[in-house]
Chains A and B, each alone.
Chain A
Amino acid sequence: MSDYRNDVEELEAKSATAARLFDIRRIIGGLFVVYGIIVTIAGITASDADLKKAQDININLWTGLGMLALGLFFLIWLKLRPTAPPTTPTEQ
């Protein structure tokens, strides 16, 4: 009927994103594991001044562990449910 729809369909067929784009879960997982380790270490070695500033909560330790857990969650999710192969659009 209209050209623009055909254009978009043609481009969709040639598009490489679905096949070639990496999975963001790998990046989120990796970054949060690294951040988690750094911040957890800062929490283990926290000075008294650090603890006092954060109202006697070892906030570095808890945040670090939380970030580590989130990072691992994304990596495990990726492991259990790898990127699905792109569904081939039905040509009409």
Chain B
Amino acid sequence: MRYLAEGLRLPTNGLDYTILAIYFVVVLGIGFAARASVKTSLDFFLSGRSLPAWVTGLAFVAANLGATEILGMAANGAQYGVYTVHWYWIGAIPAMVFLGLVMMPFYYGSKVRSVPEFLLHRFGPSSHLLSSVIFAVSSVLIAGVNLYAMAIVLEALLGWPEWVAIVVAGFFVLAYITIGGLSSAIYNEVLQFFVILAALIPLTIVGLKRVGGWSGLTDSLTGSHGGAFLSAWEGTGVGSPNPLGANWLTIVLGLGFVMSFGYWTTNFAEVQRALSAKNLSAAKRTPLIAAFPKIFIPMVVIVPGLIALVMEPTLGKAGSGLQYNDAIPVLMRDLLPNGVLGIAVTGLLAAFMAGMAANVSSFNTVFTNDIWGAYLRKDREDAYYLKTGRVVTAVGVLIGMGTAFIASSFSNIMNYLQTLFSFFNVPLFVVFIIGMFWKRTTPAAGFWGLLSGTVAAMVNYFWLYKGGIVDIPSDQGANFVSSIVAFVVGALVMVVVSYVTRPKPAEKLAGLVYGTRSPDMDELPAEGDDAWYRRPALLGWGAIILAAICYVPFSF
């Protein structure tokens, strides 16, 4: 957890606060207006599986475009330079396309309501309970950490005391999700997507003019940081030093394959958006539609990070009083007049709230359906689970607020816990991918693969890397390596355990494994879904080719 520097106070005035106030009113209004549509628990947790693809697609990208992501990626841009694009073009796009084209038929077609529920049907209760509990605990924790990050930013930028920010934002999120359910969370994410772009695009344009355009920017940075700073691959040979502390192999395998596939394809906060789509075609298109904005987001996030580095060359250096995380706030302070400044503050706040709302709305679904409804209070009528979902939402937000207050005194512990939970996604991905493609793999293999992969990643990170037994230049690099270790160990354990235990009978796997289909997979496509520009394969491969083309100017 890094603090924003002092002296970043923005010169906001009444106009900016008017813009912010209007936003809060609209957020609550969406919650109340969505209430009429919540009749069943399926409406509350998955919007009744009835939203159009463009809405779920934009919510999919916005759920990830939280403020910690925006500030963090601008910071990475200022610290590592153009290497940061790897998090987008190789670290997100292929995984999003894979989710849409390959995995979505199993997720959506099997009619599960959550990612852990898929494990229950494919493997069994042990892996289901393990992943549900870890997911529930980590989402509440991450919601709290997000809330705390927001409190620090608002304290620095607007001078609000930390507890005011935590209570105000927590209350708004609690209100609109408890009332309107997932529909209200998703609608607010779509709105947030446009507001944050309305803030970042002007910021980038004015910033570029300030530093003399793109050529002015590259000239100054080549002069101060060398040419490799503006290239994606230069200096990433195995064994050669670079600021990222990773080589092309760990970037492609660790970040591009294992880590990003783990995050994008099994993180329920993301997948939930696709599960709320109105039909299989819309569900498949959700991550594919999201991929296109994702390709271009570096232009308004990493570029401002680079601009900030030219404007404030001491950014991130000891003694300057400015951290890398301050990149975007510095530009807001120095370049935006009142009016657009209000939009920018609103966008940042909206991004914080939407990020937290994504965690909360996925937490309440998993807790209610996969823990409470599956093990503690089975077979009640639907109205009971709807009510439970609302109560769980409120409790989740309150625990998140508590976590935020704890984080403000023990921020290092929070960092460790976040790293700890991040190790869980990769083994989860291993279990999914093997479970979806190999009929022979068994319930026991699912559980042990999950557990052993997680433990292996932790051993590698905390013992071998932190203990100094293996030499990896940076935390980032160590994360990449730990993911690869988790993947390999999890996969090996699954294969071995599969051969010594009994598989599930084939008829129980219909629609859950490649080569089988659900009894009712052939949904009637909604009218218009056969238009050529809506074909998932075209969208998916289009996104991959576009991302590859984006690498060209930064590779030679």
Contacts and interface: CB of A to CB of B under 8 A. Distances in A.
Interface in B190-207: 190-191, 194, 198, 201-202, 205-206
B48 A59 contact: no
Nearest to B191: A28
Given A21-B37, A28-B190, A63-B340, A87 B527 contact: yes
Nearest to B346: A35
B49 A12 contact: yes
B516 to A, nearest CB: 12
B323 interface: no
Interface in A4-51: 4-5, 8-9, 11-12, 14-22, 24, 27-28, 31-32, 34-35, 38-39, 42-43, 46, 49-51
Nearest to B209: A55
Nearest to A83: B52
Contacts of A90: 524
Interface string B28-58: 0110011011111111000111110001000
B496 interface: no
Interface residues of A, number: 50
B365 to A, nearest CB: 13
Given A16-B37, A63-B198, A63-B343, A57 B205 contact: yes
Contact of A28 (B110, B194, B507): B194
B510 A12 contact: no
A42 B340 CA distance: 9
A15 B343 contact: no
Quick one: which of A14, A24, A55 has the most chain B CB within 10 A?
A24
A27 B524 contact: no
A14 B55 contact: no
B340 A20 contact: no
Nearest to A34: B22
B220 interface: no
Contact of A43 (B33, B40, B41, B339): B339
A1 to B, nearest CB: 6
A27 B26 CA distance: 8
B40 A92 contact: no
A91 B188 CA distance: 33
A87 to B, nearest CB: 5
A86 B198 contact: no
Contact of A55 (B22, B187, B206, B508): B206
Contact of B202 (A21, A53, A59): A59
A87 B524 contact: yes
A80 interface: no
Nearest to A21: B37
A85 B26 CA distance: 26
A53 B306 CA distance: 19
Contacts of A86: 50
Interface string A55-78: 111011011101100100000000
A85 to B, nearest CB: 11
Nearest to A39: B339
Contacts of A70: 194, 198
B48 A15 contact: yes
B210 interface: yes
B518 interface: yes
B33 A59 contact: no
Nearest to B385: A11
A17 B210 CA distance: 48
B223 interface: no
Interface in B263-277: none
Quick one: which of B40, B42, B339, B510 has the most chain A CB within 10 A?
B339
Contact of B198 (A5, A21, A67, A84): A67
B527 A84 contact: yes
B40 A11 contact: yes
Contacts of A14: 39-40, 42, 382
A9 to B, nearest CB: 7
Interface in B300-355: 334-340, 343
Contact of B338 (A50, A51, A55, A84): A50
A51 B337 CA distance: 8
Quick one: which of A11, A17, A34 has the most chain B CB within 10 A?
A17
B527 A42 contact: no
A26 to B, nearest CB: 10
A74 B343 CA distance: 19
Contacts of B22: 31, 34-35
Contacts of A27: 26, 29-30, 187, 191
Given A22-B34, A38-B15, A42-B15, A59 B336 contact: yes
Quick one: which of A31, A64, A70 has the most chain B CB within 10 A?
A31
A64 B15 CA distance: 14
B48 A12 contact: yes
B506 to A, nearest CB: 12
Given A21-B47, A62-B202, A15 B40 contact: yes
Contact of A35 (B190, B198, B335): B198
9 contacts: A15-B49, A22-B34, A24-B187, A27-B30, A31-B191, A54-B337, A57-B209, A59-B202, A90-B524
Given A42-B340, A60-B340, 10 more contacts: A1-B507, A14-B40, A17-B38, A17-B48, A17-B183, A21-B50, A27-B187, A51-B337, A63-B202, A64-B339
- Closest 9 pairs (CB-CB, A-B): A15-B48, A17-B48, A42-B339, A50-B337, A16-B39, A11-B42, A18-B50, A21-B37, A20-B37
